[in-house]
Amino acid sequence: MTSKKEALFIASLIILWYSANIGVLLLNKFLLSNYGFGFPIFLTMCHMSACAVLSYISIVFLKIAPLQRIKSRSQLLRIATLSIVFCGSVVGGNISLSYLPVSFNQAVGATTPFFTAVFAYLMTFKRESWVTYAALVPVVTGVVIASGGEPSFHLYGFIMCISATAARAFKSVLQGILLSSEGEMLNSMNLLLYMSPIAVLVLLPATLLMEPDVLDVTLSLGMKHRLMWLLLSINSVAAYLANLSNFLVTKHTSALTLQVLGNAKGAVAVVISILLFQNPVTVVGIGGYTMTVMGVIAYGEAKRRFK
């Protein structure tokens, strides 16, 4: 692949990554808030079902990544543990979107590095430099300020969003611990291949127990809003594409590039959501979110420099 073609290929991957990630976020909000489709657990199960099927097709038939086999029962147990934590993070995030605007959801989600640092210290006793920890102060302070200036603040939605963010950070630390040995390491695509069916098995009884009327209401809404089926299908496929493009961007660039893109993605998602959903924002809220993003950027730079 020539350098020009390679640059075009990477640019296309980045566009796909942005489109898929922001698309899932906005479609989740649209479905959960605008259609009366109040089933975040079922929505997550749709995502995981699509990920299970499309991961299998991508790895086994399209050979996007080499198939890695599970080598032991203990490794399967570890993957199942990760899957349950991952389910909790995604469900919590989807529940929060039923109560909070995307802009505030993204502001809270940007505190992931703070929770990652806390869990890394508590679980592995890994310490960072004082400069790195100092960079986390504006991350948390910004969310506190944004919370005070958020006109659509909802306590339950905020708790769900914080819980989802903490679970996402916990999963990343847990993944590093559970799958750290050379023989048990899986790339992100294979990990998704094995985690997704387990997630569906966990989410199915949870859906039947906590959202018992999901089928009746979904069919009724589908008859009333025929576009809903298309949006639900696109949303589920986009959830898989977000994971696929995450893997491919990291493979063809670096984890640092993905981190930088992720910082910018949150800001882009906030602007688009405000324009699309017309949710009210305040100068205080924007200032708080900006402080959080700047803190995340400073944290990433401090980690790179003071390893």
Amino acid making up residue 265: K
User: What is the pLDDT averaged over residues 253-271?
Assistant: 74
pLDDT digits (tens, 9 = 90+) for 170-179: 988 888 887 7
pLDDT at 258 over 80: no
Neighbours of 199 (CB within 10 A): 26
Burial of 63 (0-12, 13-18, 19+ CB in 10 A): exposed
Amino acid making up residue 269: A
Burial of 275 (0-12, 13-18, 19+ CB in 10 A): exposed
* Structural domain for 272, as ranges: 3-305
What total number of domains does the chain contain? 1
pLDDT digits (tens, 9 = 90+) for 149-202: 888 899 999 999 999 999 999 988 888 887 777 777 888 899 999 999 999 999
Mean pLDDT of the chain: 88
pLDDT digits (tens, 9 = 90+) for 70-102: 988 988 999 999 999 999 999 999 999 999 998
Confidence of residue 129 (pLDDT cuts 50, 70, 90): confident
Question: For the whole model, what pTM was predicted?
Answer: 0.88
% of the chain residues with pLDDT over 70: 96
Smallest CA-to-CA distance from 285 within 192, 153, 128 is with 153
The pair of structure tokens assigned to 218 is 């979904």
pLDDT at 256 over 70: no
User: Are 287 and 107 in contact, with CB atoms under 8 Å apart?
Assistant: no
H/E segment holding residue 82: helix 73-97
